[in-house]
């Protein structure tokens, strides 16, 4: 070790020496240096003194011996007092899998949140198809073991068990879940449809009951059904639920056995139920029938057929004459179901309740007591026979015997009563005739609105009034009006007797041309509630007729005429004057002239029939006729040609050409030649519609000229044009649809020639050559670049929110971590 | 670190509070030294040690490597002591109280020589930066070897020598008058 180095780093060496950190070799070197260097020696002395001072100071500050124990004690107390759940939760996050799961959850939450925000719907599995599956499962599970609820309670809504074509609904999951053992619970069966399903439902219920009897023989409760919202409730055992669930499988069998059913039914006590079973069965049925008596007779017939009898029958006639009443039928229990099925035919079933009361226990209790009492009686009799004692004893025995006999009779009576009830089920059939609540009659109020057009309003008005008086009508209102324009109109409002109303209205209708006719009916219920029915009586009330008569000034014939004439104003004046001279009425006339100098005129006149032809001739001579339409309004009265005729005259200074010709001619000196042809046109009296001249950068000269001329000057002019140069293209387009009355060969029809004169330049077309190709390539490349940039933008728009969200999560987590670390 | 200690720490990290309790005797004194180095107050230092163990137990799940347990608890203790120290300094009443205490304190004549020396040493110590103070305190208060100190302070191998050298040099400079008096 270099001595100089020790000298330079003396502080380190000093510290190491006083804190005993020098190795033996180091110490030797150090001491050698101290021996040589006085300054370092002095420093070493000071250092040693100080070290001793520090050591002494700290030795006083050392914790007392009890320190560790104290800390440990306090720690134990604190840990026991605060079991930190948060920390244990935080500890959970130590596991990597938990972290992943949390991240996945966050991701799912983001997706779902996004879906909700964007309103995008995500498909939830529909319950419908699952339901069936659940039920099938339920059925399979339920069959081998009793607790059905474990399999069905999973379904939130109503559990539907499908049974063939009809549907049984186990309504309300709680009904099923609530009943742990089904013997005490209630299972509600619901059929959606009425009558047809009803019998099926009943069959099923019966099958159910049979099932139950055969399985455990537990008591049958009440079965109630009502049509409309047909429902039946049966308290049944869990075994019966199994049976119900398996019913679908047995449905076919049940149907097959339908014929055999009565036979099976006939022996329920012997075959199905224990022989001791004492059941009192009863039923309440309600029908709406067409006729009470017929229905009651039918029921009586069926009752007899089924070995029952009618116990009571009563009926009452209501205020509206309809009968209602009840029939009480006694029926052997085995035939009850058959009977109920049969009587469904008598009318519309409104409700049905089936009930059964199990008196087995009470019956046999009573029976046992009766036997005891009889034995008692025997013994008493025995005693009486053998007694030779005192009279008072005798009397005592006699008295006791009397009491016992009373009991016996009472019990026998009770048993007989029960026997009677068990032997015959009680069926209470309520019948009422239909339409109990119909109103007695309706009052039919009719309103007729008739609007007539008449040439002579006043005359028609008088006739209508006369007609009304003849029918003895009550005139409510009548009015005849003449307004400022000399227009006459009339209104008449009458009440017509119901018997004559139709005829009178028919006659009034012939008085003029019918413009409008409406009738309106209103039924007002009388003497009853407002239950509407078509069968109710309808009484016709007086008919109100509102008649409006207006003058009929519509022309029978209309003629439209289009004439090309120049100048328009002059022609219009001429036409107007001629029409007025012939006694026509000018309805409308106007002239317009647009900025291009094209004029248009409209004239509408109504001329008497006699002068129609004269006026039309005058109009036709005004210029070239391009269209003529004649319209007859036969609705206004056929064959009446004496009415005024409406003539609409349209005057125009311009006419669409019937023939278009496009000519393309290549020539030199375009400007010069176009000037020449224009001049030639002017000489031939041909109109130049348009002319343009253009010299393009490539040295190409283009002149466009449009000429319009009558057909007669068309051919020579085209020849003239063709002489100008080389004809490049030549198309002729003739339109003969705008038929002019002047026939195909009309020489005055206008024709139009569009001429393009152009010189041929020597310029290479734009699309070829190296530069355009390069330019095109570059522009295509630029377009592709722009497209890809746009796509990148789209991709960024897709990814960026996720990136931001993830970055945010990472940032938050790291921040939370660092915050926690700082806290520590 | 001894293998048995490592096993103990492992069990403690897993949440065995009894194992954790057994770690207390092993580390409490050195944590006390750490806290004292910063706070220069025995009672407060003890409170800090107390709290440190509790916190270490609560956040034990953050520690995976048992080797790092000493550094882990030291960091907790240091941060906690610093917080407390900052709080203490921010309350001005403390200074007034110190003066009042001074008034009632025994006069220098009555004080034993040792008490005076301790006062000097402590005040000299308080002039040092925290790291130096910590190194000196751990060495003198706990008599810890260099290696343990380096591990506790999360220092690299051999760094402590330089630190201690500078620390003692600085102290010597501050204490020069006292040392001179001692000689005299």
- Mean pLDDT, each 10-residue run in order, chain A (824 residues): 76 86 87 87 87 85 85 82 60 71 87 74 45 44 40 37 37 35 38 44 54 44 40 43 47 45 42 62 86 86 86 79 84 84 83 85 88 88 77 82 90 88 86 65 82 83 86 85 80 86 85 84 65 63 86 73 81 85 82 80 83 83 81 60 77 77 84 85 83 79 86 83 83 70 61 84 62 89 94 93 94 88 70
Q: Which residues of B touch A72 (CB under 8 A)?
A: 21, 24-25, 28
The predicted-structure confidence for A265-308, as pLDDT tens digits, reads as follows 444 444 444 456 788 888 888 888 888 888 888 888 888 888 88
Q: Which domains does chain B show, CATH number per domain?
A: 1-91 (1.10.1740.10), 106-184 (1.10.10.10)
Contact list, B178 vs chain A (CB under 8 Å): 53
Let me know: does A201 contact A166? Beta carbons within 8 Å: yes
Which of A5, A9, A12, A19 is the best substitution to test chain B (most B C-beta atoms within 10 A)? Answer: A19
pLDDT reported for residue A229: 39
Cβ–Cβ gap A76/B21 under 8 Å: yes
Do residues A703 and A674 touch, judged by C-beta distance below 8 A?
A: yes
Contact A74/B114, CB-based, under 8 Å?
Answer: no
Token output for A554? 């519509």
Pick from A16, A49, A61: which is nearest to B161 by CB?
A: A16
Chain B interface disruption, residue of A71, A93, A99, most B CBs within 10 A: A71
Residue A782 CB-density burial (10 A; 0-12 exposed, 13-18 middle, 19+ buried): exposed
Q: Which helix (H) or strand (E) holds A168?
A: strand A166-170
Angle between helices A195-215 and A247-256 (to 10 degrees): 100
Per residue in A620-640, pLDDT tens?
A: 888 778 788 887 766 655 445
* Cα nearest neighbour of B116 on chain A: A57
User: What distance in Å separates the CA atoms of residue B25 and residue A72, rounded to the nearest whole number?
Assistant: 8
Q: How many angstroms separate the CA atoms of A294 and A323, rounded?
A: 11
Coil, strand or helix at A291? coil
- Chain A residues at the B interface, defined by Cβ less than 8 Å, are 9, 11-16, 18-19, 21, 43, 46-47, 49-51, 53-58, 60-63, 67-68, 70-72, 74-76, 78-79, 84, 87, 90-91, 94, 820, 822-824
CB pairs under 8 A between A and B: 128
The helix (H) or strand (E) run that includes residue A407 is helix A391-423
SS3 at position B162: helix
User: If DSSP codes are grouped into helix, strand and coil, which group holds residue A706?
Assistant: strand
Considering CB atoms only, which of A57, A75, A87 is closest to B122? Answer: A57
CB contact under 8 A, A56 and B29: no
Chain A residues close to B165, C-beta within 8 Å: 9, 11-16
Instruction: Report helix angle B69-90 to B17-39, nearest 10.
Output: 40
Of residues B53, B141, B169, nearest to A58 (C-beta): B141
Count CB atoms within 10 A of the CB of residue A501: 21
> Which residue stretches of A247-353 are H helix?
247-256, 261-266, 292-305, 333-343
Tell me the C-alpha to C-alpha distance, in Å, between residue A253 and each of A207, A249, A256, A343, A804: 10, 8, 5, 25, 67
What length is written for chain A?
A: 824
Name every chain A residue with its beta carbon within 8 A of the beta carbon of B15: 91
Complex ipTM: 0.82
Answer for the pair B168, B136: CB distance below 8 angstroms, yes or no. yes
Tokens of residue B77, six digits: 């203790």
- Do B42 and A63 lie within an 8 Å CB cutoff? yes
pLDDT computed for residue A618 by the predictor = 84
Contact B137 A60 (CB under 8 A): no
* A43, A72, A77, best to mutate vs chain B, most B CBs in 10 Å: A72
pLDDT tens column, A687-741: 888 888 888 776 778 888 888 888 888 888 888 888 888 888 888 888 766 555 5
Flag if A54 and B140 touch (Cβ within 8 Å): yes
Q: Which residues of B touch A57 (CB under 8 A)?
A: 117-118, 121-122, 140
> CB distance A53–B121 less than 8 Å?
yes
Calpha distance A617→A732 (Å, rounded): 35
Q: What tens digit of pLDDT does each residue of A657-686 get? A: 778 888 888 887 888 888 888 888 888 888
């Amino acid at each position: 070790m270099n001595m100089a180095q020790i000298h330079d780093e003396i502080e380190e060496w000093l510290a190491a020496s006083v804190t005993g950190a020098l190795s033996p070799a180091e110490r030797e070197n150090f001491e050698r240096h101290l021996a040589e260097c006085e300054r370092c020696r002095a420093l070493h002395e000071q250092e040693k003194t100080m070290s001793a001072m520090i050591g002494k100071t700290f030795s006083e500050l050392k914790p007392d011996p009890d320190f560790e124990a104290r800390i440990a004690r306090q720690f134990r107390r604190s840990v026991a007092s605060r079991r930190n759940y948060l920390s244990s939760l935080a500890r959970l996050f130590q596991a990597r899998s938990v972290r992943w799961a949390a991240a996945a959850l966050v991701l799912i939450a983001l997706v779902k949140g996004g879906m909700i925000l964007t309103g995008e719907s995500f498909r939830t599995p529909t319950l419908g198809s699952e339901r069936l599956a659940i039920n099938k499962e339920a059925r399979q599970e339920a069959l081998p073991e009793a607790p059905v609820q474990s399999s069905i309670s999973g379904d939130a809504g109503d559990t539907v068990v499908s049974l063939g074509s009809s549907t049984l609904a186990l309504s309300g999951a709680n009904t099923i879940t609530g009943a742990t053992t089904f013997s005490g619970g209630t299972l509600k069966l619901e059929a959606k449809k009425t009558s047809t399903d009803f019998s099926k439902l009943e069959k099923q219920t019966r099958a159910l009951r049979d099932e139950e009897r055969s399985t455990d023989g537990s008591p049958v409760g009440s079965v109630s059904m009502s049509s409309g919202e047909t429902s039946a409730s049966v308290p049944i055992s869990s075994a019966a639920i199994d049976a119900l669930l398996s019913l679908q499988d047995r449905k076919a069998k049940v149907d097959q056995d339908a014929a055999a059913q009565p036979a099976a039914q006939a022996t329920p006590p012997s075959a199905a139920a224990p022989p001791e079973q004492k059941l009192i069965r009863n039923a309440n049925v309600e029908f709406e029938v067409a006729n009470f008596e017929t229905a009651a007779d039918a029921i009586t017939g069926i009752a007899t057929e089924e070995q029952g009898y009618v116990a009571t029958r009563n009926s009452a006639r209501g205020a509206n004459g309809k009968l209602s009443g009840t029939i009480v039928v006694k029926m052997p229990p085995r035939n009850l179901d058959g009977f109920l099925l049969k009587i469904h035919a008598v009318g519309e079933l409104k409700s049905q309740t089936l009930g059964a009361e199990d008196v087995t226990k009470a019956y046999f209790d009573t029976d046992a007591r009766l036997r005891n009492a009889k034995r008692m009686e025997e013994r008493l009799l025995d005693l009486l026979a053998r007694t030779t004692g005192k009279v008072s004893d005798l009397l005592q025995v006699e008295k006791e015997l009397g009491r016992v006999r009373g009991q016996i009779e009472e019990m026998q009576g009770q048993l007989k009563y029960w026997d009677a009830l068990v032997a015959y089920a009680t069926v209470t059939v309520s019948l009422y005739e239909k339409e109990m609540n119909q109103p007695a009659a309706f009052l039919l109020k009719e309103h007729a609105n008739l609007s007539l057009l008449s040439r002579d309003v006043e005359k028609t008005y008088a006739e209508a009034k006369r007609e009304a008086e003849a029918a003895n009508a009550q005139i409510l209102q009548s009015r005849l009006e003449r307004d400022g324009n000399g227009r006459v109109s009339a209104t008449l409002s009458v009440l017509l007797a119901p018997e004559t109303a139709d005829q009178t209205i028919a006659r009034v209708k012939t008085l003029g041309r019918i413009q409008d006719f409406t009738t309106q009916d209103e039924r007002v219920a009388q003497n009853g509630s407002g239950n509407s029915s078509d069968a109710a009586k309808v009484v016709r009330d007086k008919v109100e007729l509102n008649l409006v008569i207006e003058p009929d000034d519509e022309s029978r014939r209309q003629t439209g005429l289009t004439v090309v004439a120049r100048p328009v104003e002059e022609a219009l004046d001429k036409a107007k004057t001629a029409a007025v001279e012939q006694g026509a009425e000018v309805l409308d006339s106007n002239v317009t002239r647009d900025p291009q100098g094209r004029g248009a005129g409209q004239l509408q006149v109504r001329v008497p029939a006699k002068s129609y032809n004269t006026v039309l001739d005058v109009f036709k001579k005004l210029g070239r006729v391009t269209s003529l339409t004649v319209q007859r309004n036969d609705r206004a009265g056929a064959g009446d040609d004496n009415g005024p005729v409406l003539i609409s005259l349209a005057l125009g200074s311009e006419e669409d050409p019937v023939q278009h010709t496009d000519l393309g001619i290549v020539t030199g000196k375009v400007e010069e030649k176009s000037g020449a042809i224009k001049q030639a046109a002017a000489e031939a009296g041909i109109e130049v519609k348009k002319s343009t001249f253009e010299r393009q950068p490539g040295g190409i000269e283009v002149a466009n000229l449009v000429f319009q001329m009558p057909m007669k000057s068309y051919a020579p002019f085209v020849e003239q044009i063709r002489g100008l140069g080389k004809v490049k293209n030549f198309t002729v387009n003739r339109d003969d649809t705008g038929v002019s009355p002047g026939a195909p060969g009309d020489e005055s029809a206008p024709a139009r020639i569009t001429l393009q004169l152009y010189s041929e330049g020597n310029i290479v077309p734009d699309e070829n050559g190296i530069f355009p190709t390069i330019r095109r390539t570059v522009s295509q490349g630029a377009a592709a670049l722009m497209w890809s940039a746009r796509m990148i933008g789209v991709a960024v728009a897709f990814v960026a929110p996720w990136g931001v969200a993830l970055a945010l999560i990472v940032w938050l987590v790291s921040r939370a971590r660092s915050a926690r670390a700082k806290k520590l | 670190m001894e293998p048995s200690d490592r096993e103990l720490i492992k069990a403690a990290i897993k949440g065995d509070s009894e194992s954790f309790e057994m770690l207390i005797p092993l580390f409490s004194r050195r944590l006390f030294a750490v806290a004292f180095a910063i706070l220069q107050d025995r009672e407060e230092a003890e409170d800090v040690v107390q709290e440190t163990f509790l916190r270490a137990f609560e956040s034990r799940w953050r520690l995976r490597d048992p080797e790092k347990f000493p550094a882990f608890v030291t960091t907790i203790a240091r941060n906690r002591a610093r917080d407390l120290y900052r709080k203490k300094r921010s309350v001005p009443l403390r200074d007034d109280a110190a003066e009042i205490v001074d008034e009632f304190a025994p006069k220098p004549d009555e004080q034993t020589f040792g008490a005076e020396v301790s006062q000097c040493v402590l005040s000299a110590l308080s002039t040092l930066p925290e790291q130096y103070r910590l190194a000196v305190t751990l060495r003198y208060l706990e008599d810890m070897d260099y290696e343990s100190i380096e591990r506790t302070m999360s220092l690299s191998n051999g760094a402590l020598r330089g630190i201690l050298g500078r620390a003692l040099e600085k102290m010597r400079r501050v204490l020069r008058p006292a040392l001179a008096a001692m000689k005299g």
